[in-house]
Amino acid sequence: MLTVSDLMTVNPLTVTPETPLRQVIYLMQREGVRQLPVIDGGELVGIITDRDVRLAVDSPVVARDMPHRREIIERFTAETCMTPNPMTVTPEMSAYQVAGMLATYKFGSFPVLDEGTLVGIITTSDYLTFFAGLEKRLEPALWLHS
């Protein structure tokens, strides 16, 4: 059975609740990620996504007011924008079941916890990477049967 641990990104980049939004944006851009688990004292307390950042920074109230947008980026922290207590999955869960959960809830990722400790993150990109590599893994078997 294909499990979450087969596909997940191990030891994902994290931020703390106090991480300034400016730093969150920088890390997302530098690392090419769209979700960052938020850890406080070793415990997962939230997740902040690129969508959370866009909603905070590009609010209809402040969208045209650039100085105010800069103030938000400087003053706000991950905690002010994150989704607290996110849904999580475990490494042993079926990758197919979790794919269904991603589709049902329209989420981009789930933090992966093992006995309460963050061990990874499973993202839609992890699934796409796996799927994109399937043809190469299946090609020799298909060639033998043709």
> What is the secondary structure of 5-48 as a DSSP string?
HHHSEES---B-TTSBHHHHHHHHHHHT-SEEEEEETTEEEEEE
Structural domain count of the chain: 1
Mean pLDDT score of the chain, rounded to an integer?
89
| Number of neighbours of residue 82 by Cβ within 10 angstroms | 23
Is pLDDT of 119 > 60?
Answer: yes
Query: Residue 36 sits in which domain range?
Result: 4-145
Is pLDDT of 141 > 80?
Answer: no
> pLDDT grade, residue 64 (50/70/90)?
low
* Predicted structure pTM score: 0.86
Render pLDDT for 79-92 as a digit per residue (tens, 0 to 9): 999 999 999 999 99
> pLDDT grade, residue 142 (50/70/90)?
low
> Is the separation of the CB atoms in 83 and 46 below 8 Å?
yes
- Give the distance from CA 106 to its chain's centroid: 12
CATH of the domain at 70: 3.10.580.10
> Is the separation of the CB atoms in 54 and 72 below 8 Å?
no
Give the phi and the psi of residue 57 in degrees, each rounded to 5: -85, -35
Give the phi and the psi of residue 2 in degrees, each rounded to 5: -75, 125
Cα 29 from Cα 50, distance rounded (Å): 10
Helix (H, G, I), strand (E, B) or coil at 128: helix
